[in-house]
Structures are given as structure tokens and as C-alpha cells.
A and B are shown apart, each in its own frame.
Chain A
Amino acid sequence: MTETRTLLPHLACVKTSSEAAVLASRGDWHADLLGALKPSLQKCIRALHNVALQWDVSEIGWIDTAGMLLHIQALEQLQNQGCTVEFRGQSQDFARLYDLLQKYRMAGASSERPAQRSAIVSILDDIGKRYVGVWYTLANFLAFIGENFVHFLYSLRHPGAFRIKAIIKNIDDAGFKALPIIALTSFLIGVVIAYQGAVQLEKFGANIFIVDMIGISITRELAPLITAIVVAGRTGSSYTAQLGVMKLTEEIDAMRTMGFDPHRFLVLPRMIALMLALPLLIFFADIIGIAGGMLISNLHLNISFHEFLHRLQNVLAVKHVWIGIGKGPFFAWLIAVVGCFNGFQVARDTESIGRYTTISVVYAIFLVIACDAVFSVILTGLGI
């Protein structure tokens, strides 16, 4: 193994008279080792004004671009301070590297960078850009929805245009494979509700009313909401990431040039699949959630399964179940549209995939909850 001996770079500075001085560089001027040297170099140079300087570089072992740049920068500064500088004992390598760097340093140096803007201007600039950006995004989002709707109508008139295989695959991904996690969350929600209710109802001896409470709250509100939130986190984010990567790798451009419209081939199958799958998932969550509640009622309030089911059939109007399931397609549409739209927003770099995936999940969950609130207001208004 070649043991490269490294000598720390070092600068000796001797002022011989008021008009003359000698500088000597020694050691290896290697980028790794130079950090500490700059202050001492500066200190030495600042003291030199209008002197004739001899700079001895004969004892430099090894020098790279960074080391040479320090020499060049020092040289320029010295010349500005009215000194004359002469290198002594330059090796061939030193001279060559010096010439090379000078050549490429000067080239294109004329194009100065634009002056820095003041802080206030850049803050205002930033606010303005963001504001305009929000409007652009909103306009793009509406355009996306419109375009998507047009493609949907087209597909309705030409049913052959639906990508049945893609829809089935997406139902498998977003629906079937989500069953375990949906089962787990809705079961736990049922358990939690039953526990909380059991304590309160027991005080009044109104044990049996646990059935009404669980039946209605789960089917009408909790199952749809929890399922939609889980799906937004699981499927909405994956839609954004999938489409985002396809956008970065120019796959979407390639599809466009082959006449495969991304809306028809990518967005609609995902949207339709989710709109079909989510109501089914909600129904599944209803069953598991009620089962969770039933288990706890049995353990804590001694309501037998038979009793529970009998009561459930009497008190749970079927409209509650339908309302809960009916929210599914709306939630699904929101999740799919937000997920796909954000996927198309990805541009330029891999970081933006992460950014838009986060945005997509946050917005999807927010919109689902907002939509649920709207449902509540309207349905209450209608007295349903």
C-alpha cells in the first residue's frame, strides 16, 4: 500500500524590511487540510501593503485545486494592496495547475450574478408568489376535475373505453388488500365505543341501550369516517406516489405520445375502483365494528349475543346503514381525485414526491371530514 505522507500545509511569513517580505508555503495543500489555514493566511496578508514580495513555493509537496485557489486569491488581494509578488521555486506541476486555473477562472467571469435583493422585497416576493401559486393550483385542480369528468362521460358513451382489468386490479389493491387493516381499526373502534358507553349506561341501569348507541353511531358516522381515513392514508398516498414517479420518469409523457390518455388509463380506473370498493369496505367495517361492540357488551354488561342481535334488528333503522354506505362513493371520489391530482403536480425532483404525497393525504382527510360535516348539516336539515 502506498503510504502517502501528508504534511500539514503551512505558511511562513517573514517581513525582511519595510519594502520587502518573504512568504513560504510548505506541506501538502490538500482540500481536506486547508480549512484551518485560511485565517492565518488572511492575517499574514492583511499586514502587507506596498511591499515587494517573494513567495517561495518550492517546498509544497502536493497541491490541488483548492490549495491553488487560496494562492490565487491571496495573490489578487496582495496586488490590490499594492504589492508586487513573485513566485519562487515553482515546480512544473505548480505552474501548470496555476495556468489551468487562471484560464478557467477568467473565462465567463464577466457575467456577474444579479445583486441580492433586500429582505423586505424578497419577503413580499415570496408572499406574492405563494398567493399566485394557490390560485394556480386551484385553477389546475378544477381543470383536472373537469377533464376527468369529460373522460368519464366519454367512457359512459363508449363503455369499451373503461379499462376493466385495471379497475379490477385497483379494487384488489385498494379494497381487498385493505380488509385486514380495516377490520382491525373498526373492531377497535367498536370496542372503544362500547367501553365508554357501558360505564355511563350502567349508572342508569340502561344497559340494553348500548345496542342503539353502537348500532347507530358506527353505521352512520364512525365506520364511514374511519374507513375513509384509513383508505386516504393507504391508497390516496400510493396514488400520488405512483403517478408522481411515472411523471418523473416521463412515462406519462410516453403514454400521451402513444395516444393513451392518462385520465382514461390511470385516473379513471383508480377513481372508479375506489368508488366501488369504499362502500363495500364501509359495510365490512359496520359488521366488524358492531361485532367488537357486541363482544364488549357481552363481557361487561352481560348482554348475550342473541339479545344484542334481537335488539339491533328492532332499533337500527336500515336508513342509517344506507346513509353510511352512501357516503362511501363521495369520500372515495375525493380521495382518488386529490391523490391523482397531486401525483400529476409532481415535477422535477424526487423530493417533490414526498411533499405532494403528504399534501395529498392531509387534504384528502380534511376534505373527507368536511364532506361528512356537510352531509350531517344537509341530512339534519332534511330531517333524516
Chain B
Amino acid sequence: MTVVIKARDIVTRFGDNVVHDGVSLTVNAGEIYGLLGGSGSGKSTLLREFILLLRPHAGSIRVLDYDVMALSPFQAEQLRRRWGILFQSGALYSSLTVAENIAVMLQEYTDLSSDVIADIVHIKLNMVGLPEHAADLYPAELSGGMIKRAGLARALAMDPELLFLDEPTSGLDPVSAEGFDKLIMELRDILGLTVVMVTHDLDSIWTIVDRFAVLGDKKVVAEGDLDTVMKSQHPIIDAFFKGERGHIRSRHGN
């Protein structure tokens, strides 16, 4: 099995605030990998380190076989084309319509003719389940769920091999959240994507995530598939999965 992301002993500090102190994890090709942890445990920060927005103080990160800590500008450029990212708040360009947001990478990096690009935009919109009329709306005119979908469509525009999702289902209604989960799974199966997602959604963890890591105490307190993690006796795991919400879910579902 090929390894897509390999992070070892990452240390991150903001001033005196130590966020990570020796975080290590491994993401394999073709899996949906979850990052869990309480608010402020450093999930988004870890994600930003994977995608070259932030440099950890120590440790090593390999993404798609590139050494992220020692990357030439040219390699960084290559790497950036091979992933897609959905930010926690969407981060759509506010002065472009949804269709333009999706098309922007294609226009910038390829010589495709405009009708092919329009066709690709149309397909991506359909894939993420946005109605046709949404194409001409501006981000400020979208609902929260539509922003997530548009962000996903933009992330998928260049057919990435690796997809980073920061809380894709937060703020969605349960039906949409389930639909979104299904969509991510379908895309993984068909396009052979590797997906790394930050999530708080216990349903997502039970249904679509293959393996995951739980961040807590500035470290990874457990990593593996659901059974492995549940066997861990760490208090953070207990709090996460054996609290009231976790209980209800495990009684009915698993």
C-alpha cells in the first residue's frame, strides 16, 4: 500500500502556545482519513502544514512523496496542482461567480478551450449537487450548504489525487450531511481519490472514514480504524465516543 502523507514528530508553536508536540500520522493511498479532536486541538493547523500554508517548527512531512519541509518552488508548484482543498469557511473568491470560481484553475493552468471548461464546470456542479442556476450566483448569494458544495466543486476542478476537507459537513442539515458523505465516498471510489478530512461529525466517522487519528494533549492519542481506536483506553477517546452522543449512535448503528 502506498503512503500518501507521512508526518513524523511535528512540533508547532504560536508564541508560547504549543499546539503540536510530536504529532505523527500516516495516510495511505485511496483511503478516507479522518482528523478528530476537540476545538482548538490543532486540526486545522495540521492541515495547513500539509498544504504548505504553515511551516512546523520541527518534524518531517512527506506529501505525495515530496518532502514538504525542503521543497523547491518548482516542486511546490507541481504539488499544488495535485491536490484540492475545501476550506473550513469555503474561501470562495467573493468577486467571482460560482462558475468562475470553479473554472479559475483550469483557465490559469491549461489551454483548454472555453467550451470544454464550461462543460467541466457543468459536470462538477452536477457532481456536487448544485442546481444549474447556482452557477451564476456570487458567493455572498449562497446558503451555507451551497458554499460547501461550491467549495468542493472548486477543489475537484483539476481532478486532484488528494483532497483535503476541513469540516465538510459542519453547518449542513443531517440529510445534506449524509448526501455529502455519500458523495465523498462515491468520488473516492470512482476517481480513486485519497481524502483527508477534519471532522467533528460522529456519523461521518462511523460511516465513511476508513482510518482516523484523534488529536489531543498536543499529540495523536490514537490512530487506526474504528475498532482499533475504540480499544484505546485514553480518556479523550472515552470522552469523544462514550459521551451521550457517541452512546446513542453506537447503540443504534454499530
Interface residues, chain A, with chain B CB atoms under 8 Å away: 1-2, 31-32, 34-36, 38, 64-66, 69-70, 73, 93, 96-97, 100-101, 104-105, 107-109, 111, 248, 347-351
Contact = CB atoms under 8 A, between A and B. Distances in A.
Contact of B109 (A32, A36, A104, A347): A32
A43 B64 CA distance: 38
A347 B52 CA distance: 32
Given A65-B159, A66-B120, A97-B190, A104 B127 contact: yes
Contacts of B111: 34-36
Contacts of B159: 31, 64-66
A1 B110 contact: no
13 contacts: A34-B111, A34-B112, A35-B110, A64-B159, A65-B120, A66-B120, A66-B159, A101-B123, A105-B122, A108-B126, A111-B133, A348-B140, A350-B94
A111 B125 CA distance: 14
Interface in B203-251: none
A65 to B, nearest CB: 5
B140 A347 contact: yes
Contacts of B106: 31, 66
A351 B95 contact: yes
For chain B, what secondary structure do more than half of its interface residues adopt (helix, strand, loop), or is it mixed?
helix
A66 B94 contact: no
A77 to B, nearest CB: 12
B119 interface: yes
Interchain residue pairs A-B with the least CB separation, the first 6 = A35-B111, A349-B94, A104-B126, A64-B159, A349-B95, A351-B95
Interface-centre pick from B65, B123, B125, B158 (highest chain A CB count, 10 A)? B123
Contacts of A97: 190-191
Interface string B113-147: 10110011011011100011100001111000000
Nearest to B187: A100
Nearest to A107: B126
B212 to A, nearest CB: 25
Interface in B155-175: 158-159
A366 B39 CA distance: 51
Contacts of B94: 248, 348-351
A246 to B, nearest CB: 15
Contacts of B81: 32
A254 to B, nearest CB: 16
A69 B66 contact: no
Nearest to A354: B95
Interface of B: 64-66, 81, 94-95, 106, 109-113, 115-116, 119-120, 122-123, 125-127, 131-133, 138-141, 158-159, 190-192
Nearest to B81: A32
Given A2-B65, A73-B119, A105-B122, 9 more contacts: A66-B106, A69-B123, A73-B115, A93-B192, A111-B133, A347-B140, A349-B139, A349-B140, A351-B95
A105 B116 contact: no
Contacts of B139: 349
Contacts of B127: 104
A1 B139 CA distance: 39
Contact of A38 (B95, B113, B119, B123): B113
Given A100-B190, A350-B95, A105 B119 contact: yes
Contacts of B95: 349-351
A64 B122 CA distance: 15
Given A349-B94, A350-B95, A66 B112 contact: yes
B86 to A, nearest CB: 18
Contacts of B138: 348-349
A19 B66 CA distance: 51
A112 to B, nearest CB: 10
A2 B113 CA distance: 30
B119 A1 contact: no
B140 A104 contact: no
Contacts of A350: 94-95
Contact of B116 (A1, A70, A100, A111): A70
A2 B106 CA distance: 24
Nearest to B131: A108
Contacts of B133: 111
A34 B119 contact: no
Contacts of A351: 94-95
A111 B192 CA distance: 31
Given A2-B65, A34-B110, A105-B122, A69 B116 contact: yes
A350 B106 CA distance: 23
Interface-centre pick from A31, A36, A73 (highest chain B CB count, 10 A)? A31
A69 B120 contact: yes
B126 A66 contact: no
